[in-house]
Structure 1
Amino acid sequence: MEFDTLIIGGGLAGLQAAIQLGRSLHHVAVADNGVGRSTIAKNYRNILGYPDGVSGQQLRSLGEQQARQFGVSFFSGTVNSLTQNEDGRFRAELTGLDQEPVEFLAKTILLSSGIKDPFPTIKGMDPCLGESIFICPDCDGYEIVNQHALVIGSGNHAVQMAKTLRYFTKTITIVNHDGAKVGEPEQVYLVQEAIPIHHEPIVQIEQEEGRLKRVELASGIGIAVEKGFLAFPGAKLQTSLLAGFDLQRLDTGHILANPRTKETTYRNIWAAGDVVAHSQQVTISLGDGSQAAIWIHKRLLEMAKGNG
């Protein structure tokens, strides 16, 4: 199947790009495996136009419906390989979730596959994610103002999160869920700030319609709490498909993209969303997607004239 652009990752950056490219009359495919941060976020409350919040799934659903109106094709599954033919077109293979494997040929690529978070498996946690348990203080620090906040994390990462959250609330408890070592400077800080820390795992979270009520530790201790933040190391950028291409990355592993166009240092491959270094905000991902699509459109016009 041949397309002008293959978008790998149907999160919010990818969907915004698909809408923009569809409205530019291009033949576009979106390949998505149905996972990612936006699939689990129950309520974004910091997006213009949604004062009462909106879920990631709702945004994705609305975005797909809108993109389909402009002729964008959607494929469910995982893109397992990405190469480039001698004629410059890219070849990708998708293993479908609900269909046979699909092979794509595309003139341009947009990678918007995001980040995979190392969330622990805790009974009762899933309904709370994005509703009363968060990962980003920049996005959701406001949600804990003057409330009792629980940091569920790993060693020094959990302490660092507590430091950040002290701006929003003075009542914080840490659960060092995986028992990782806490450094001496961090221990001194916790004593100075009177922040309690429990070095044992949570076995169960009690919640009501996603609203955090109480957590139970392995020892049987129960902690009544209103909101929580996760703080674990090991979030992985989903960029392995570009391993075979000679393009530049930052020390963090993020793809280096032109700040004006979002094109990578490999011609005709663009990157948008969390695979590019930024604040990991929905609104920025949307802007990335739109910006990348505008410049993909310009390149496709050049190609049509034989200058691509």
Structure 2
Amino acid sequence: MLPILTALLCLGLCLSQRINTEKETLPKPIIWAKPNIMVTNGNSVNIWCQGAQSASEYQLYFEGSFFALERPNPSRSMNKVRFFISQMTSHTAGIYTCFYQSGELWSESSNPLKLVVTGLYDTPNLWVYPQPEVTLGENVTFFCQLKTATTKFFLLKERGSKHIQHKYGNIKAEFPMGPVTRAHRGTYRCFGSYNDYAWSFPSEPVTLLITGGVENVSLAPTSSLDYWEFDLSTKESGLHKDSAFWDHTTQNLIRIGLACIILITLVCFLTEDWLSKRKGHEEANRLANRECRRRRRMQHYLEEEQRNAISMRELKATPGAL
């Protein structure tokens, strides 16, 4: 039993050490922007960062450097903070990340948040060839042109995919598509830019209409398009699921379960030891009682022998007794 208890204690120490090691890194926070990640030059934007319920401090980083610090309001029991940028400019457009502190530990970095400022430079022109209304399966090409020379053009579909198409160009860029499917229909705009996060005014919208018969699901685009990963969604993800809380709860349950196993094992060990000692005492008492009875029988036998001997002597000493 003792080797088993020793093994369980060693297992408990190893698991506890592993849990403490894993606890050194907190889950990464969630970051998003409101009202949008595309902000007109001079307008304000809110950057939200959400972490664990136990977070005491949040730090916002811009392009890898410290930008701002916020502490949650304890009276509201909130696990998120707001960083306010009063005026969006080309100097505040770029990649943001956030961290939070809980106790002595710091979380991992959030996923990058790309903020774009629009409304700079001139307004580009956007048109589609051969025409905005095409038959299902045709090939089309969007053209985006800016009078002022630039380095890159972006084409995005309103309320569409988070993958924004981009092409390099001086004053004009072509965005070929096709064979078109019903998924291509929608309203498009284009922007010109000198870097990934400082864009021109948006072009006038161009709506692509798809007409025709039954769609062939085997159709695939014949052109190769470059995409810029850009999450247009600003929705709050998992605001009511505090992963850090669940992680700590799991760790505590593991500790409690391990403690119960060790406690039960210890109780079993002590019970077995007590039963073994009790059995030994009972066996010793039986032996002692047996020895005591043997001695009494022996004493009784000796006394009986002694009485018989005395009776024989008295009988011999009495005249005429024999």
Q: Same fold (TM over 0.5)?
A: no
Q: TM-score range by the shorter chain?
A: under 0.3
Q: Indicate the structure with greater strand content.
A: 2
Q: Which has the higher contact order (CA 8 A, sep 6+)?
A: 1
TM-score (ref. length: structure 2) = 0.22
TM-score (ref. length: structure 1) = 0.22
Q: Higher Cα Rg: structure 1 or 2? A: 2
